[in-house]
Structure 1
Amino acid sequence: MLDFTVNPSACTRCGQCVIDCPPRIIAMDGGYPAIAEEKEALCYRCQHCLAICPTEAISILGVKPGDVTPLQGNYPRPRQMETLIKGRRSVRRYREENLEPELIKHLLEVAWHAPTGVNARQVRFTVVDDREKMVALRGEVMAGLGRLAREEKLTEGFERFADFVRLWEDKGIDTIFRGAPHLLVASTPEKVPTPLLDCMIALAYFELFAQSHGVGTVWCGLAKWALNDLLPEFRARLGIPEDHIFGYAMMFGKPAVDYVRTVQHEPAIIHRFEG
């Protein structure tokens, strides 16, 4: 049930919701927008109709205009977004403390608004939200990797994990998890149209929003390979469903390092189609 409703006293019959509807299922009925019952199953549930209505006349899926944030005057300025993007750093040093649970929940809720293929919205966030749990998980993973290294069972191409184990066992250097208090894994069902891309986009949104809150992040391919490829039993240990693609892993927490300026990379590699 879409619960698509129109407030006739507010609707100006501008037709913007009709024009902007991706599956084209909204039509003017009796002078006002409506969705025929037989077309409801075609809805993308994108809420474009709610977002585009200039007079707050449309509600859908139980969401009313008053429940959401107006865009006018609430976007960051372009210079602020540029600074956030250019100033984003991969943080590999973290404080030994938890983030506030409310902040973690807020970061995940906002990041879940990231776009997905055909609006599938099936990205699943698996999060380690407590440092003590992270310490225990890291110990188990390192022990598992150590066993593989000693038994010479590391998969071809992953032999360097033996060096990571030695650094951990001999010097307490955590090359894989970087001592971060929190871990985030994005996964999606294999059957969705773009499973891997959905995960990567969601994590990118999470990273930028997290860093705007002063939370450090690092994309962690080493953790992904350890948890998914070398020690696949940890998929179940983390509660990742069997039919899900393990998109990627990200470490995050309060940084133990302060970066004070952006950097400047070489010019973008751009190819212009000449037609």
Structure 2
Amino acid sequence: MLDFIVNHQTCTKCGQCVTDCLATIISLNEDGPFIAPEKEANCYRCQHCLTICPTGSISILGLDPEKSLPLTGDFPNATQMELLIKGRRSIRHYKPENLEPEVVQRLLDVASHAPTGRNDRQLLFTIVDDRDKLAKLREEMMNGLGRIIREKSLPEGREFFADIYKAWEEQGIDTLFRGAPHLLLVSAPSDTATPVQDCLIAMTTFELFAQALGVGTVWDGLLKWAICDLMPEFRSRLGIPENHVFGYAMVFGKPAVHYARTAQRETAQIHRIN
């Protein structure tokens, strides 16, 4: 059941919900907008009808429009967005402390708004939200890595993990997790429309909002390789379902470094089609 409810006292019958319905299942009569029961199965659950209604007269899926944030022109301006994007840096030095739980939850709540292919919205955010837990995981993974190296089982192209382990074993240098207190893994069922892309879009959303909150992040390709190519047993250890595609890994926390200016990149490579 879609639970499509219209407040007829405030509805102006403007028809915007009808025009913007992607599934074209909303109709309008003299009483206002409605969805015929036989068309409900075709709903994309995109909530366009709820969000476009200027008077907040539409509820769907049991959602209260009063609990949505109003879009009143409070978006960051173009200059602010440009600075956020250009000023984003990969952080590889972190303070040895946890983020506040409400900050972590807010990051995840915002990341869950990232678009997904076909509006599947089946992403799984797997998180280590405590630095002591992550330290234990790091110890387990380093021990596993050491075993693989001693057995001379590193696959071709991943020989550099021997140097990562040596730096950890001899100098306590944590190249795998960068000393961060928190870890985020994003995965999606393999039978969704775009599982890998969905994971990357969500993680990019997470990262940009993290920057806005003063939280540092780094895309952790080394950890992804370690799990996918060297120690796949850690998929189950971390609770990633067997039918999921592991999109990517990211560590994050309070940065111990702060950058003063943006980097200067080369002009984008552009191919314009005539």
- Say which SS state the counterpart of residue 185 (structure 1) adopts: strand
Task: State the match for 1:18 in structure 2.
Answer: 18
Tell me how far apart the structure 2 counterparts of residues 83 and 127 of structure 1 sit (CA, whole Å): 28
Task: State the match for 2:140 in structure 1.
Answer: 140
TM-score, structure 2 as length reference = 0.98
Task: State the match for 2:81 in structure 1.
Answer: 81
- Say which SS state the counterpart of residue 222 (structure 2) adopts: helix
Amino acid at match of 2:212: S
Task: State the match for 1:130 in structure 2.
Answer: 130
**Structure 1 residues without counterparts, runs of 5 or longer:** none
Task: State the match for 1:241 in structure 2.
Answer: 241
- Say which SS state the counterpart of residue 183 (structure 1) adopts: strand
Task: State the match for 2:174 in structure 1.
Answer: 174
Task: State the match for 2:109 in structure 1.
Answer: 109
1:208-227, aligned counterparts within 5 Å?
Answer: 208-227=208-227
Tell me how far apart the structure 2 counterparts of residues 228 and 90 of structure 1 sit (CA, whole Å): 22
What is the CA distance between 1:164 and its match in structure 2? 0.5
What is the CA distance between 1:29 and its match in structure 2? 3.5
| Alpha-carbon displacement from aligned partner over 1:115-148 (angstroms, at most 9, x marks no partner) | 0000000110000000000001001101101111
Tell me how far apart the structure 2 counterparts of residues 136 and 5 of structure 1 sit (CA, whole Å): 50
- Say which SS state the counterpart of residue 98 (structure 1) adopts: coil
Tell me how far apart the structure 2 counterparts of residues 118 and 42 of structure 1 sit (CA, whole Å): 13
Task: State the match for 2:265 in structure 1.
Answer: 265
| Alpha-carbon displacement from aligned partner over 1:214-242 (angstroms, at most 9, x marks no partner) | 00000010011112221000000001111
Amino acid at match of 2:19: I
Amino acid at match of 1:102: E
- Say which SS state the counterpart of residue 138 (structure 2) adopts: helix
Tell me how far apart the structure 2 counterparts of residues 241 and 37 of structure 1 sit (CA, whole Å): 35
Cα RMSD (Å): 1.0
Task: State the match for 1:158 in structure 2.
Answer: 158
What is the CA distance between 1:156 and its match in structure 2? 1.4
Q: Does 1:229 find its partner at 2:229?
A: yes
Tell me how far apart the structure 2 counterparts of residues 43 and 272 of structure 1 sit (CA, whole Å): 37
Task: State the match for 1:205 in structure 2.
Answer: 205
**Structure 2 residues without counterparts, runs of 5 or longer:** none
| Alpha-carbon displacement from aligned partner over 1:84-136 (angstroms, at most 9, x marks no partner) | 00000000000110001111011001110000000000110000000000001
Tell me how far apart the structure 1 counterparts of residues 145 and 29 of structure 2 sit (CA, whole Å): 64
What is the CA distance between 1:42 and its match in structure 2? 1.3
- Say which SS state the counterpart of residue 188 (structure 1) adopts: strand
Moved over 6 A (4+): none
TM-score, structure 1 as length reference = 0.97
- Say which SS state the counterpart of residue 218 (structure 1) adopts: strand
- Say which SS state the counterpart of residue 187 (structure 1) adopts: strand
What is the CA distance between 1:31 and its match in structure 2? 4.4
Amino acid at match of 2:72: Q
| Alpha-carbon displacement from aligned partner over 1:36-84 (angstroms, at most 9, x marks no partner) | 1121111111100111111211111121221111111221111111110
Tell me how far apart the structure 2 counterparts of residues 39 and 157 of structure 1 sit (CA, whole Å): 53
